[in-house]
Amino acid sequence: MTTTTTLADIAATSLVAVRTLERYGLDYCCGGKQAIGAACSAKGLDPAAVMQEIEQSLHVGGGDRDWQNAPLGELARHIIATHHEYLRQELPAVGARMEKVLRVHGGRDPQTLSRMATVYDGLRSELEAHINKEEQILFPFIARYADAEAQGQPMPPVPFGSIGNPIAMMEREHEGAGEALVELRTLTNNYELPSYACTTVRMLFDGLQALEADLHVHIHLENNILFPRAIALERR
């Protein structure tokens, strides 16, 4: 690892590395193409110290699944079972909290809370459609690619020209989700609880932060590992 190594490449080594990057607020997800040296400097961090911490954490905590070398079908199934299922459970739950907070406290801060609800509704709608497209269209073709490689056969033809085409669409949708997450964090001043915060407000803010953390790992596994490996298979 050097100062020119990208955040995406570092995150791809292990979820232990991901946790370190998250602790320092380094965007390995949608901003994963940025070099760690530049990313650290922009935040006033010492790149050498951060890299040393990552290397030490990798040495100590080497129990994470190596998704860079795991079968693509296994990785796709992991994303569905872990992250897609999380969204299916949490998106409605967080949405219900958002509706309740807006109904009860909307008069206290109408501009912020109404905008939060609008941003969240858009994020939820996009994510629900997004995971269905992945499960029904893109992931099955990635699984076929993985099967063809395992059997030493040519890559099967796809109806959309290249597997890179739906991947590019999914990545654009990931960028949109990332922008929504940034706006929600900005609107809440990094999820600082307002003076009127009740239990539901606390649960809403906790749920949004947990959703953000899960989406970062979710998008990282797709953008930085699953999709590049599928494209590489097609090009062989």
Q: How confident is the model at residue 63, as a pLDDT?
A: 47
How far is the C-alpha of 72 from the C-alpha of 146, rounded, in Å?
A: 6
| Domain boundary residue, one of 60, 86, 105 | 60
Please name the residue that has the structure tokens 């654009």. Answer: 172
Confidence of residue 11 (pLDDT cuts 50, 70, 90): confident
Q: Of 35, 60, 85, which residue constitutes the final position of a domain?
A: 60
Is 180 in the same domain as 119? yes
If asked whether residues 159 and 104 sit together in one domain, one would say yes
Q: What is the pLDDT of residue 215?
A: 93
130 part of a folded domain? yes
Q: Tell me the mean pLDDT in the region 50-78.
A: 77
| Total domains present in the chain | 2
109-155: pLDDT as tens digits: 999 999 999 999 999 999 999 999 999 999 999 988 888 888 888 87
Q: What is the pLDDT of residue 62?
A: 46
DSSP-based three-state secondary structure for 26: coil
Q: Say how far apart CA 154 and CA 157 lie, in whole Å.
A: 9
Q: Where is the domain boundary, 60, 82, 105? A: 60
Q: Which secondary-structure segment (H or E) carries 72?
A: helix 72-78
| Domain around 27 | 7-60
pLDDT higher than threshold 80 for residue 22 = no
Length of the chain equals: 236
pLDDT attached to residue 58: 62
The reply to whether 56 falls in a domain is yes
Say yes or no to pLDDT of 29 above 80: no
List CB contacts of 227: < 8 A, sequence separation 6 or more: 167, 170, 171
- List the structure tokens of 46: 């010492």
What backbone phi and psi angles, to 5 degrees, belong to 192? -80, 125
6 - beta bridge partners? 35
Same domain, 121 and 96: yes
pLDDT tens for 149-196 read 888 888 777 788 888 999 999 999 999 999 999 999 999 999 999 998
pLDDT of residue 88 exceeding 90? yes
Which CA distances in Å does 229 have to 5, 118, 168, 200, 213?
18, 35, 14, 42, 24
222-231 pLDDT, tens digit per residue, is: 999 999 999 9
Q: Are residues 122 and 175 in the same domain?
A: yes
Q: Quick check: 61 pLDDT over 60?
A: no
Percentage of the chain lying above the pLDDT 90 cut: 53
Domain-located, residue 2: no
Q: What is the pTM of this model?
A: 0.76
**Same domain? 121 vs 40:** no
- For the chain, give the longest Cα–Cα distance: 64
53, 167: one domain:
no
- The backbone torsions φ and ψ at residue 35, rounded to the nearest 5 degrees and listed phi first, read -70, 145
